């Protein structure tokens, strides 16, 4: 066997649950997965080659065919499309001399579309391998590609001073953090050593009680009470338990976890250590989405520092698990499957992760923001935390604000703030619609909903806050969101796999001017089907862009409806359906 | 632990933790299924067993019964959802029952009758799907695959334990794959098991076919509903 492959396998003890790491290293070596390599892998890992291809082909950033020397992924989002995406896209095709999905003749560039890469406040943006370029323009694209042609590496272009990738300065060179408004909880100076000394000397039960008393709810979106989750996980009797930090920030429009990991990585890691103590675990995983690979060295360095300081690595240690490009892995059970080196498919529940999670162990999964908040709660106290926000939604949360506003970026707000207050704060006087919580959330009307409060009982928010003014075509936004769900559905269950395609087709038909009232009725009824019968949160929420705009902005649909002509459906083009465009019949 | 639940108003005494699909069947109530196989790991892929539990739609193969559970199977809204999901499958692939070897033994076809499907509310896609006939033992007719995952999860190479069937890609592009080397070492018995496990005519045993005349095929002799609710539901 090839010695390099041997080395990689040895690094991971030929453990098939580390398949994602093995694949990342192999792709680093070969650029893709040659058949001979997969064959060798299948022998060493005792998996069929197809089984390995099944994993490779599940993830967006793994390639089973050769690509160009540089893999360029352009972030295709509604926000990018509001900021010159089309011009940048065209410039990329011209400069690279190939189309998206292809490679140029010289084998230098491959162009790919990719879904939101967590930079909605600085789009258009693209990844070249694991280096990110933001605020793109056609001119900037031309310069970057010509420098690549002159054998400069992506890192050299964006970081000419050669800052080490383990430093904060490197991350800041690549992306802006745009922290516009700091509140009481996040980005604080905390003495982590003193805090950990205090926490680890407390009884675990006491920490769990503190979390329950703070009333904090999970910040991933579902809003499950964190204290209760910890309590349930603590109550399971088992030797090995696991703490996982979900940094698979895939919801289009969110980027707050990226900024937290950039500026407060220690708050996040210390929150995980505290959780470990509370539930009785000595092992933590941070699942980092592939789109944030440029943060990996920096985060590894932060972990190393914590180990050097004796805060990590004795009773509790943390490993970073790289994802490979799949929105569905934001679902905690899909994320666990992915951590185990498999296709990121949501599990059948029950059992829940707190009973049977990573490698069958009781597993507590929380979001990046939750862990960062935990650290401050332990520092300042549960009552202090609970004094902020509303009765049912305590504390503050981070908003990732993007779209039509003067100051896109990160805002820390207390729960209970109204939609109108947020829009004033971010400079969005002309806003007419806001997509709260991303495509899986709700599209609200500024005219009707300005007084609504951001909280779990009214306008729940997972952090994504995309603003649209009158100029934006909301139906196109809906179309983009549905395309996103079709793209990201894992396909494991029928309603989500089949239904999203049908919903998108209906929206396409409406935009083509061939939709009638029956199509709207179908959208509502099929949307309900997906919501009720899908296996995970992706399918149960994917119809929301349609259902919420139908409710809030019915005009965008009603105004473009057509009528049935005679006995034929409006969407049926008789001429197109007949050979020779129907000429035969007319004669 | 003995518990009481109700299904469509019928009071049922059963044991806590049993799967709802089984409890219903044991009590003469049929819930259609396509991916579920009794006594095997729940796959939860087809969602055709959706019912209402305390007003919420849930797939009955994933529900463990607990005391006081109120289940609705024969309820208009959720019955129509089950029908819609079956219709989804008929339009997603190419299901030409009259020419299919599995006709009469096909679970999708049989369930189609049970949910009262006549024509699909979704547009037929007529996808072009590549077949795999390279193996000497199995025809893989992807046109008919409903991605239930039975073969992926339950059929393994006897010697190495490797998967013989697997999925590639994801979403609407997901497709069933067959390991053409491993399939050659399948015993005749295992090939039969795989072909019978496939709820549709995707995995077809080579060298056999159309053994039973029309009128005497499996689900013509005894419907899928009768088989499911029969006290002793062996073949």
One DSSP character per residue, B187-224 reads -HHHHHHHHHH-SSSSEEETT----SPTTSSHHHHS-H
- Domain annotation covers residue B77: no
Q: Smallest CA–CA separation between A275 and chain B, in Å?
A: 30
Q: What does pLDDT average to over chain B?
A: 96
- Rounded to a whole number of angstroms, the distance between the first and last alpha carbons of chain B is 30
Domain with B26, as residue range(s), is 2-71+224-234
Q: Which residues of B touch A350 (CB under 8 A)?
A: 62, 64
Instruction: Assign residue B37 the CATH number of its domain.
Output: 3.10.20.740
Q: Smallest CA–CA separation between A89 and chain B, in Å?
A: 25
Residue A25 DSSP class: H
B114-148 confidence digits (pLDDT tens): 999 999 999 999 999 999 999 999 999 999 999 99
B173 touches chain A (CB under 8 A): yes
Residue B188 CB partners (closer than 8 Å, separation 6+): none
Asked if pLDDT for residue B235 goes beyond 70, the answer is no
Angle at the Cα of A323 from the Cα atoms of A320 and A329, rounded to 5 degrees: 115
B163 touches chain A (CB under 8 A): yes
- Domain annotation covers residue B154: no
- Domain annotation covers residue B60: yes
Residue of A nearest to B124 (CA): A502
Q: Which residues of B touch A50 (CB under 8 A)?
A: 163, 166, 168, 177-179
Name residue, tokens 């199977």.
Answer: B73
Both tokens of A485, joined, read 């769900």
Q: Residue A585: its pLDDT value, please?
A: 52
Q: Which residues of A touch B91 (CB under 8 A)?
A: 498
- Domain annotation covers residue B78: no
Q: How remote is the C-alpha of A376 from its chain's centroid?
A: 24
Q: Which residues of B touch A343 (CB under 8 A)?
A: 167, 170
Average pLDDT for residues B175-193, to the nearest whole number? 96
Q: Which of B81, B162, B179 sits opposite A46 (nearest CB)?
A: B162
Pairwise CA distance, residues B120 & B114, whole Å = 14
- Domain annotation covers residue B48: yes
- Domain annotation covers residue B190: no
Residue of A nearest to B77 (CA): A529
Given an 8 Å threshold on Cβ–Cβ distance, is B169 in contact with A57?
yes
- Interface size, chain A vs chain B, as Cβ–Cβ contacts under 8 Å: 121
Pairwise CA distance, residues B7 & B12, whole Å = 7
Asked if pLDDT for residue B50 goes beyond 50, the answer is yes
Count of other CB atoms within 10 angstroms of residue A586: 9
- Domain annotation covers residue B7: yes
Closest CA to A410 of A464, A356, A363: A464
Q: Number of folded domains in chain B?
A: 1
B78-122 confidence digits (pLDDT tens): 999 999 999 999 999 999 999 999 999 999 999 999 999 999 999
Pairwise CA distance, residues A83 & A103, whole Å = 26
Pairwise CA distance, residues A345 & A338, whole Å = 8
B31-44 confidence digits (pLDDT tens): 999 999 999 999 99
Asked if pLDDT for residue B190 goes beyond 80, the answer is yes
Residue A313 CB partners (closer than 8 Å, separation 6+): A306, A307
- Rounded to a whole number of angstroms, the distance between the first and last alpha carbons of chain A is 70
- Domain annotation covers residue B106: no
Both tokens of B140, joined, read 């893989």
Pairwise CA distance, residues B76 & B115, whole Å = 11
Average pLDDT for residues B169-198, to the nearest whole number? 97
Q: Residue B234: its pLDDT value, please?
A: 46
Per-residue pLDDT of chain A (587 residues), as tens digits, is 789 999 999 999 999 999 999 999 999 999 999 999 999 999 999 999 999 999 999 999 999 999 999 999 999 999 999 999 999 999 999 999 999 999 999 999 999 999 999 999 999 999 999 999 999 999 999 999 999 999 999 999 999 999 999 999 999 999 999 999 999 999 999 999 999 999 999 999 999 999 999 999 999 878 999 999 999 999 999 989 999 999 999 999 999 999 999 999 999 999 999 999 999 999 999 999 999 999 999 999 999 999 999 999 999 999 999 999 999 999 999 999 999 999 999 999 999 999 999 999 999 999 999 999 999 999 999 999 999 999 999 999 999 999 999 999 999 999 999 999 999 999 999 999 999 999 999 999 999 999 999 999 999 999 999 999 999 999 999 999 999 999 999 999 999 999 999 999 999 999 999 999 999 999 999 999 999 999 999 999 999 999 999 999 999 999 999 977 778 888 888 788 887 766 655 54
Given an 8 Å threshold on Cβ–Cβ distance, is A497 in contact with B174?
yes
Give the model's confidence band at B63: pLDDT under 50 very low, under 70 low, under 90 confident, else very high.
very high
Q: Smallest CA–CA separation between B162 and chain A, in Å?
A: 5
Among residues 34-93 of chain B, which lie with CB inside 8 Å of chain A? 42-48, 50, 57, 59, 62, 64, 78, 81, 84-85, 88-89, 91-92
Pairwise CA distance, residues B201 & B193, whole Å = 13
Given an 8 Å threshold on Cβ–Cβ distance, is B168 in contact with A502?
no
Given an 8 Å threshold on Cβ–Cβ distance, is B166 in contact with A505?
no
Given an 8 Å threshold on Cβ–Cβ distance, is B50 in contact with A533?
yes
Pairwise CA distance, residues A77 & A117, whole Å = 9
């Amino acid at each position: 066997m090839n010695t390099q492959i041997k080395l990689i396998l040895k690094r991971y003890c030929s453990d098939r649950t580390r398949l994602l790491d093995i694949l990342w290293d192999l792709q680093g070596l070969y650029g893709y997965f040659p058949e001979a390599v997969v064959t060798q892998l299948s022998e060493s890992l005792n998996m069929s080659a197809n089984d390995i291809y099944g994993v490779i082909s599940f993830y967006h950033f793994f390639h089973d065919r050769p690509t160009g020397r540089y893999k360029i992924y352009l972030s295709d989002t509604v926000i990018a499309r509001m900021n010159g995406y089309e011009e940048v896209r065209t410039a990329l095709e011209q400069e690279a001399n190939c189309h998206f999905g292809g490679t140029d003749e010289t084998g230098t560039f491959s162009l790919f579309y990719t879904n939101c890469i967590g930079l909605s406040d600085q789009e258009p943006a693209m990844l070249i391998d694991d280096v990110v370029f933001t605020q793109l323009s056609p001119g900037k694209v031309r310069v970057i590609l010509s420098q690549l042609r002159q054998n400069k590496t992506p890192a050299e272009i964006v970081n000419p001073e050669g800052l080490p990738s383990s430093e904060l300065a490197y991350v800041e060179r690549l992306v802006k953090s745009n922290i516009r408004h700091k509140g009481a909880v996040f980005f604080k100076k905390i003495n982590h050593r003193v805090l950990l000394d205090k926490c680890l000397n407390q009884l675990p039960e006491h920490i769990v009680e503190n979390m329950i008393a703070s009333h904090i709810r999970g910040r991933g979106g579902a809003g499950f009470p964190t204290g209760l989750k910890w309590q349930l996980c603590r109550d399971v009797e088992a030797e090995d338990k696991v703490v996982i930090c979900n940094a698979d920030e895939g919801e289009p429009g969110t980027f707050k976890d990226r900024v937290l990991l950039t500026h407060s990585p220690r708050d996040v890691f210390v929150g995980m250590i505290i959780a470990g103590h509370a539930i009785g675990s000595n092992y933590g995983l941070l699942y980092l989405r592939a789109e944030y690979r440029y943060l990996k060295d920096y985060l590894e360095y932060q972990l190393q520092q914590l180990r050097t300081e004796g805060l990590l690595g004795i009773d509790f240690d943390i490993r970073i698990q790289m994802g490979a490009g799949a929105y569905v892995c934001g679902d905690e059970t899909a994320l666990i499957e992915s951590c185990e080196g498999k296709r990121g498919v949501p599990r059948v529940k029950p059992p829940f992760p707190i009973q049977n999670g990573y490698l069958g162990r009781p597993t507590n999964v929380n979001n990046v923001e939750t862990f960062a908040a935990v650290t401050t709660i332990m520092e300042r106290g549960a009552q202090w935390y609970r004094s902020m926000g509303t009765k049912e939604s305590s504390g503050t949360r981070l908003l990732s604000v993007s779209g039509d506003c003067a100051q896109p970026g990160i805002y820390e707000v207390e729960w209970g703030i109204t939609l109108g207050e947020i829009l004033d704060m971010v400079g969005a006087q002309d806003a007419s619609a806001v997509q709260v919580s991303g495509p899986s959330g709700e599209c609200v009307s500024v005219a009707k909903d300005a007084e609504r409060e951001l909280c779990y009982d009214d306008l729940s928010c997972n952090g994504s806050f995309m603003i649209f003014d009158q100029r934006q075509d909301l139906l196109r936004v809906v179309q983009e969101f549905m395309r996103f769900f079709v793209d990201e559905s894992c396909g494991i269950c029928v309603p989500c796999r089949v239904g999203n395609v049908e919903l998108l087709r209906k929206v396409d038909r409406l935009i083509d001017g061939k939709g009638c009232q029956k199509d709207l009725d179908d959208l509502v009824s099929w949307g309900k089907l997906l919501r009720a019968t899908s296996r995970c949160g992706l399918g149960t929420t994917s119809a929301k862009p349609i259902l919420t705009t139908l409710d809030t902005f019915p005009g965008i649909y009603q105004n473009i409806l057509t009528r049935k002509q005679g006995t034929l459906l409006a969407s049926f083009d008789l001429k197109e359906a007949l050979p020779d465009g129907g000429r035969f019949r007319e004669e | 632990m003995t518990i009481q639940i109700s299904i469509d108003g019928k009071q049922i005494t059963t044991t806590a933790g049993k799967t709802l699909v089984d409890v219903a069947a044991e009590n003469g109530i049929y819930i259609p299924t396509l991916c579920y196989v009794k006594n095997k790991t729940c796959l939860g892929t087809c969602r055709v067993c959706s019912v209402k539990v305390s007003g919420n739609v849930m797939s009955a193969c994933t529900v463990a019964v607990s005391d006081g559970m109120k289940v609705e199977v024969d309820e208009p809204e959720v019955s129509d959802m089950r029908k819609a999901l079956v219709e989804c499958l008929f339009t997603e692939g190419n299901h030409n029952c009259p020419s299919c070897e599995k006709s009469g033994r096909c679970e999708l076809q049989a369930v189609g009758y049970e949910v009262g499907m006549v024509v699909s509310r979704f547009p037929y896609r007529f996808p072009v799907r590549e077949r795999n006939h390279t193996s000497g033992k199995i025809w893989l007719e992807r046109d008919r695959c409903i991605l239930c995952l039975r073969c992926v999860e339950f059929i393994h190479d006897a010697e190495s334990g490797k998967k013989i069937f697997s999925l590639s890609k994801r979403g609407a592009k997901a497709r069933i794959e067959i390991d053409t080397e491993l399939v050659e070492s399948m015993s005749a018995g295992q090939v039969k098991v795989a072909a019978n496990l496939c709820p549709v005519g995707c995995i077809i045993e080579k060298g056999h076919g159309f053994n039973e005349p029309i009128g005497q095929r499996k689900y013509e002799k005894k419907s899928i509903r009768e088989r499911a609710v029969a006290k002793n539901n062996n073949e």
